Amino acid sequence: MSTQGFRIVITGKGGVGKTTITSLLSHLFAGRGYSVLAVDEDPQMNLPYAIGVSPEDAESIVPLSKNLDYIEEKTGARPDSGYGLMFSLNPDVSDVVERFGMKGPNGVNILVMGTVVKAATGCLCPENTLLDAVMRHINLREGEIILMDTQAGVEHFGRAIAKGFNQAILVADPTFNAVQVVKHAAELARELEIRDIHLVINRVRSPGDITKVTRMLAGHEELFSGKYYIPYDEMMSLFDPDVRPILDEPSEFVDGVRELMMSLEMHGLLRA
Ligand SMILES: Nc1ncnc2c1ncn2[C@@H]1O[C@H](COP(=O)(O)OP(=O)(O)OP(=O)(O)O)[C@@H](O)[C@H]1O
Ligand SMILES: [Mg+2]
């Protein structure tokens, strides 16, 4: 696996702001000259809209999972017989994007995985196994960044998909349940040997929120490389789902995400 480029996975409880933050980071990194591949691992597939793809264009996206026949033809791998050949494929980002992805606004590349949802945890569906293999073995060059937005919860951390990511962003809002989820996710991320685990507390409305979260995190701080408190911004609901307009407004929310971006870049460069 290449040590170049950054692989960043975003996770957390439902509705805490994962997709919004992934989209803003995609635009901010693209604006800094990086080649960004934003990957939607959520079966809901709402990342393209947040990045600013029009509904008409979004409709034409074919998820990677629906391209199984094509991948099978190229790799010789069959869904019922493992993916040995896939492991030696090492597809380039540009190759994967060209075949399965789309170019979104600001040159942000978008890949929709089309993850298969199963009721039980630890799904070993062949489609998901193949998706995991693509993500783990994709060749990343200097200046290329993968940002993967995931479905709510930590189930996918039990899958191989998060393996091979060097940084994780765990997002919570200032609620007990969301903080519980990030604590659990941090432990899983550690087990997966994800080097840098950044905690984002989004939608902070008051200093009281910070005090509350600090209390809930007591004894767990060492799990995180950094902690970011990002304020609630009512402008977000005006623009929803497209995050781009807020980038042109004075916003403490965007400032907070920008600070996160700088830290991700620093960690990525230091460890490359
Ligand atoms: N800091 C913020 N201030 C105000 N609204 C926000 C903020 N962050 C996100 N939102 C809003 O919260 C809603 C949920 O955000 P988002 O879809 O990014 O969450 P999610 O974690 O991806 O949800 P899901 O688990 O359903 O995928 C959106 O309407 C978004 O605009
Ligand atoms: Mg989402």
Centre of ligand 1 to C-alpha 50, Å, is 10
Task: Give domain status of residue 12, yes or no.
Answer: yes
Which residue minimizes the CA distance to atom 2 of ligand 1?
A: 232
Give yes or no for residue 232 CB within 6 A of ligand 1. Answer: yes
Residue type, 11: T
Share of the chain above pLDDT 90, in %: 59
The reply to whether ligand 1 has any atom less than 6 angstroms from the CB of 152 is yes
CATH number at residue 125: 3.40.50.300
Q: What is the largest CA-CA distance in the chain?
A: 57
Residue of the CA atom closest to atom 15 of ligand 1:
17
Which whole number is the average pLDDT over 251-255? 97
In tens, the pLDDT along 40-50 reads: 988 889 999 99
Q: What's the 200 CA to ligand 2 centre distance in angstroms?
A: 15
Q: Is 247 in contact with 254 (CB distance < 8 Å)?
A: yes
- Specify the range with the lowest mean pLDDT, choosing from 4-8, 97-101, 128-132: 128-132
Query: Ligand 1: distance of its center to the CA of 16 in Å?
Result: 5
Using CA atoms, how far residue 245 sits from 19, 50, 177, 212, 272, in Å, is 16, 11, 31, 31, 33
The arithmetic mean of pLDDT across residues 66-85, rounded, is 57
In testing the pocket of ligand 1, which one of 13, 20, 148 has its CB within 8 Å of the most ligand atoms? 20
In a domain, 1, yes or no: no
Rounded percentage of the chain residues whose pLDDT exceeds 70: 81
Question: In the chain, how many domains are there?
Answer: 1
- Using only C-alpha atoms, what is the Rg of the chain? 18
Using the mean position of ligand 2's atoms as its centre, give its distance from the Cα of residue 49 in Å: 11
pLDDT score, position 13: 96
Nearest CA to ligand 1 atom 9: 17
Domain enclosing residue 69, as ranges: 6-271
pLDDT tens digits, 113-152: 887 666 555 555 566 666 777 777 777 888 999 999 998 8
**According to the model, what pLDDT value does residue 127 have?**
63
Ligand 1 closest atom vs CA 44: 27
Where residue 154 falls among pLDDT bands split at 50, 70, 90?
confident
Q: What is the pLDDT of residues 197-249, one digit of tens each?
A: 999 999 999 999 999 999 999 999 999 999 999 999 999 999 999 999 999 99
Question: In this predicted structure, what is the pLDDT of residue 199?
Answer: 98
Lowest mean pLDDT among 14-18, 90-94, 140-144, 216-220: 90-94
- CB of 253 within 6 A of ligand 1: the answer is yes
Tokens of 195: 């080097």
Atom of ligand 1 nearest to the CA of 240: 31
Comparing 62-76, 85-99, 146-160, 257-271, the range with the smallest average pLDDT is 85-99
Per-residue confidence (pLDDT) for residue 140, from 0 to 100: 82
Look over the chain and give the mean of its residue pLDDT values, rounded to a whole number: 85
